[in-house]
């Protein structure tokens, strides 16, 4: 499952045009797109970090190596002008591998460490390897709302919560801020 987002223009145009072009590139280089959510306008995260984002989630059928998929996604981001200068800053394109079936990487203890990392430390600490499922997945309405459109029954392989249950746990304000385009 790949979460897509952007809030800065790229050589392809505005954020929606960038996501469409990125999806075409993903289908050519990463794997078959099985399903795509609608596009949503979402507030920048963290609040005040820039203009609103356009976000979506896509289910991709791909090879067995999540690290290779992530590497391919990072390569696509770079071609669309993504520069990693500020954590959670404005960007032309963000492609996050948020889940890979029921894979837990690198192991359950490491995934739990990053999932439960206090908010103050999240801003300054980043993992040095791929963590799956994405450790902030359960907190992010801008991922969960589109995810719920295409796979509401997917269950987090560690917590056991479905996407629909994770959406239900979000605050009403967080959910209301996510608007379909």
Cis peptide before 30 (omega within 30 of 0): no
Q: Smallest Cα–Cα separation from 42: which of 5, 80, 94? A: 5
Between 108 and 90, the more confident residue is 108
Summarize the confidence of residues 86-103 as an average pLDDT: 85
Q: Look at residue 157 and give its three-state secondary structure.
A: coil
The whole-number pLDDT of residue 119 equals 78
Cis peptide before 71 (omega within 30 of 0): no
Per-residue pLDDT band for 84 (boundaries 50, 70, 90) equals: low
Summarize the confidence of residues 83-109 as an average pLDDT: 86
The whole-number pLDDT of residue 89 equals 63
Percent of residues, the chain, with pLDDT higher than 70 = 96
Does the reported pTM lie above 0.75?
yes
Q: What digits encode the pLDDT tens for the residues 14-57?
A: 999 999 999 999 999 999 999 999 999 999 876 777 899 999 99
Q: Tokens 């050519």, residue?
A: 28
Q: Sign of dihedral through CA atoms 178, 124, 80, 11?
A: positive
Cis peptide before 46 (omega within 30 of 0): yes
The whole-number pLDDT of residue 126 equals 83
Per-residue pLDDT band for 86 (boundaries 50, 70, 90) equals: low
Q: Are 93 and 78 in contact (CB under 8 A)?
A: no
- The alpha carbon of 64 is separated from its chain's Cα centroid by a whole number of angstroms, namely 19
The whole-number pLDDT of residue 157 equals 97
Q: Are 12 and 54 in contact (CB under 8 A)?
A: no
How many distinct helices (H) and strands (E) make up the chain?
7, 6
Measure the CA–CA gap between 9 and 16, rounded to whole angstroms: 9
Identify the architecture of domain 2-180 in CATH.
Answer: 2-Layer Sandwich (3.30)
The whole-number pLDDT of residue 147 equals 98
Q: Look at residue 77 and give its three-state secondary structure.
A: helix
Q: What digits encode the pLDDT tens for the residues 104-163?
A: 999 999 999 999 988 778 777 888 899 999 999 999 999 999 999 999 999 999 999 999
Summarize the confidence of residues 66-91 as an average pLDDT: 84
The whole-number pLDDT of residue 87 equals 55
Backbone angles phi, psi at 46, to 5 degrees: -70, 165
Q: Look at residue 28 and give its three-state secondary structure.
A: helix
Measure the CA–CA gap between 25 and 3, rounded to whole angstroms: 15
């Amino acid at each position: 499952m790949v979460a897509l987002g952007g809030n800065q223009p790229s050589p392809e145009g505005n954020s929606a045009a960038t996501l469409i072009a990125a999806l075409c590139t993903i289908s050519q280089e990463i794997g078959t797109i099985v399903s795509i959510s609608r596009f949503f306008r979402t507030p920048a995260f963290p609040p005040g970090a820039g203009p609103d984002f356009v976000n979506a989630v896509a289910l991709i059928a791909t090879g067995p190596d999540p690290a290779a998929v992530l590497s391919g996604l990072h390569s696509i981001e770079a071609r669309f002008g993504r520069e990693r200068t500020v954590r959670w800053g404005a960007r032309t394109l963000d492609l996050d591998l948020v889940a890979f079936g029921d894979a837990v990487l690198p192991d359950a203890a490491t995934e739990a460490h990053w999932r439960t990392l206090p908010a103050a430390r999240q801003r300054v600490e980043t993992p040095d390897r791929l963590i799956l499922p994405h450790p902030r997945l359960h907190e992010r309405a801008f991922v969960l709302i589109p995810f719920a459109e295409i796979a509401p029954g997917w269950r987090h392989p560690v917590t056991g919560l479905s996407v629909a249950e994770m959406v239900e746990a979000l605050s009403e304000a967080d959910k209301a801020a996510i608007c379909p385009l």
